[in-house]
Amino acid sequence: MRHGGRSAAMSWPGSEAIHPTYWRPFDDRLPNADRVKQVLEWLALPDDRRPSFSTLYFSDVDHAGHDFGPDAPETAAAAARVDAAIGSLIQGVRTLGIDDRTSYVVVSDHGMAPTSDNRLIYLDDYVSADDMEIVDTSPNATLNPKGAMSEDTLYRKLAGAHPALAVYRRTELPAWLQYGTNPRIPSVLALAELGWTITTRPAAQLRRATGRSFTGGAHGYDPRYREMHGLFVASGPRLRRGVVLPEFRNVDIYGWLCALLDVPAAPNDGDIRGVERALAR
């Protein structure tokens, strides 16, 4: 938009911060067919009004992965529904006669790991609930001391308390995480190993009382776990066919999309060198 183009966002989480040229807010209840229909209506606009960049989000796989786990048949069925929706989008673009100048980029923002009722870490087994403020839980718990508890004591009570829990002071987080420098970040962080859930005894009891278990799926673990890696599939007239890319970070996609759209990228943390060979020269 800053370079004279038009953009559109259909039910894309976070897009309300930008307000593209054409925009429908994130609505988890909206059927996939209606999401596709709206994007096709935008693409059917005359050339001088048609968006050159559109985003479209489907919720199915994320919900099924959380509720049933990444390997469950329900998750496979959710993927099939999304596959059908993408097929409808491609067919609609073909009907509009713009398929020879349309590129598709299919991504996920994260992977998913299976969780279990047998892999639970109870924070209140090691620190009294009266002595800590739990800002966030699982798979990365963020904590502040409360009352007479000091940051150092809170850290020492949790460090080494459970074999599947790594505990850090905010100031001592591994540099590669690029996290912990903002003063709003709580003073102690606890990171669970893949597939483990951090909770408390009362929170677990309440969850079970509502008929829910901890068996399902979760993300947000150490990004070096392969289970956390996302999806990237792209196709279009300006893309090379049959190219298999090495692993790269999600933040690298931004600059790559800018190159695909012929607009300069703003300063960012990405590096397109690992993905630029997918672009046709």
What's the pLDDT score for residue 106? Answer: 97
Quick one: pLDDT at residue 180?
A: 87
pLDDT at 274: 85
Tokens 């709580």: give the residue.
186
Q: Which neighbouring-strand residues pair with 190?
A: 141, 167
Per-residue three-class SS string for the chain: CCCCCCEEEECCCCHHHCCCCEEECCCCCCCHHHHHHHHHHHHCCCCCCCCCEEEECCCHHHHHHHHHCCCCHHHHHHHHHHHHHHHHHHHHHHHHCCHHHCCEEEECCCCCEEECCCCEEEHHHCCCHHHEEEEECCCEEEEEECCCCCHHHHHHHHCCCCCCEEEEEHHHCCHHHCCCCCCCCCCEEEEECCCCEEECHHHHHHHHHCCCCCCEEECCCCCCCHHHCCCEEEECCCECCCCCCCCCCCCHHHHHHHHHHCCCCCCCCCCHHHCHHHECC
Supply the pLDDT for residue 18. 84
Q: Which pLDDT belongs to residue 281?
A: 73
Domain limits, CATH 3.40.720.10, in the chain: 7-114+225-278
Query: Where does 7-114+225-278 sit in CATH, by number?
Result: 3.40.720.10
- pLDDT one-digit tens code per residue, 221-264: 999 999 999 999 999 999 999 999 999 999 999 999 999 999 99
Instruction: Give me the CATH code for the 120-214 domain, please.
Output: 3.30.1360.180
For residue 219 the two structure tokens come to 């993300």
Residues of the chain with confidence (pLDDT) below 50: none
Residues of the chain with CATH 3.30.1360.180: 120-214
- Give one word for 194, left, alpha or beta, with left for phi > 0 and alpha for psi -120 to 50: beta
What type of residue is 130? D
Contacts of 6 (CB under 8 A, 6+ apart): 20, 21, 22, 49, 50, 51, 52, 53
CB 180 within 8 A of CB 169: no
Q: Quick one: pLDDT at residue 74?
A: 98
Beta strand 22-24 pairing with 7-10 = parallel
Rounded-to-10 torsion of CA 249, 251, 253, 259:
-130
